[in-house]
Amino acid sequence: MIVSQALLQRERGVAGTALPDVLEHSGAPRGSIYHHFPDGRAQLAEEATEWAAGFTSRRLESLLASGDVVSALDAFIDDWTATLRDSEMPCLSFVFMTMLASQPSRPPTMSHTMKVIDAP
């Protein structure tokens, strides 16, 4: 469910990602969201943000392991270019979409997003 939330949120933003869509995308049973995420949608969005940040960090770290920073950044940009090109819907950086979709009425998501961005 976390990966499905992340993928859908990347394309639609937080506000545009409904729990039924996450369930359909992931194939998870209906009651599983509140079983695994007792705080509901906000908790799932926060955990998806953490997953996406970790995924992106691990990819960049693996590219930088070669020691060639310029080639690593070129490959990272190529990854995002391919993601944008191959997506059926326009998608932006997951964290950026989360920030755009977060509203003052949902401070936990915004504060969590900022915590993820500021993490080493």
Straight-line distance from the first to the last Cα atom of the chain, in angstroms, rounded to the nearest whole number: 26
* pLDDT tens digits for range 82-98: 776 776 555 555 555 55
Question: What pLDDT sits at residue 116?
Answer: 52
pLDDT tier for residue 3 given thresholds of 50, 70 and 90: very high
Mean pLDDT across 9-15: 82
Residue type, 48: A
CB-based burial label for 35 (10 Å; 0-12, 13-18, 19+):
exposed
Q: What residues have CB less than 8 Å from 85, skipping those under 6 apart?
A: none
Is CATH 1.10.357.10 correct for 2-118?
yes
Q: What is the pLDDT of residue 103?
A: 47
- Both tokens assigned to 30: 């209906």
What does the pLDDT average to over 59-64?
91
- Tell me the mean pLDDT in the region 71-79: 87
User: What is the C-alpha to C-alpha distance for residues 28 and 5, in angstroms, rounded to an integer?
Assistant: 12
Q: Which residue ranges make up each domain of the chain?
A: 2-118
Cβ atoms within 10 Å, residue 48: 25
pLDDT of residue 45: 92
Q: Which pTM value belongs to this model?
A: 0.67
pLDDT of residue 33: 87
